[in-house]
Amino acid sequence: MDFPEEFKYTEEHEWVMVEEEIAVIGISDFAQDALGDVVFVELPEVGAVLEAGKAFGVVESVKAVSDIYAPISGTVEEINEDLIEAPEIINTSPYVDGWMIKIRMTDAADADALMTSDQYQALIAEES
């Protein structure tokens, strides 16, 4: 499994890549693997205001339906429209093509509270 070091991670298995005041968000390689084949994705509308820790969307797989939680508060600037037609992209490319949303962060310092790649891998090891 892959856990890019430049990303931050959450206990709910979301990843965040910060680009100045924009945060790109998706689910981790671990999460997509645990879910199995993703068959449906529900994402928020552009302009929606997200609160850290609150659900912003849904990923449905052949195994389960899971909420996706906002790791950081902010306003949705862009959604990955490709996932609506081809949700399986999350399985094949969770970090590049399978990103879900881009938000303008309310406070960029929120990202500092998220886990590093090493911390996230330690969490997964504890859960396994």
Q: Where are the domains of the chain?
A: 8-127
Q: What is the fold, at CATH topology level, of the domain defined by 8-127?
A: OB fold (Dihydrolipoamide Acetyltransferase, E2P) (2.40.50)
* pLDDT score at 108: 87
Number of alpha carbons in the 13 Å side-chain half-sphere of residue 99:
15
Q: Which residues of 107-127 are buried (b: 16+ CB within 10 A; e: fewer)?
A: eeebeeebbebeebeebbeee
| pLDDT score at 66 | 95
Cα–Cα distance between 115 and 5 in angstroms, integer?
10
| pLDDT (average), residues 71-79 | 97
Q: Which H or E run includes 119?
A: helix 117-127
- Read off the pTM: 0.95
Confidence of residue 69 (pLDDT cuts 50, 70, 90): very high
41 touches 60 (CB < 8 A): yes
Band (122; pLDDT cuts 50, 70, 90): very high
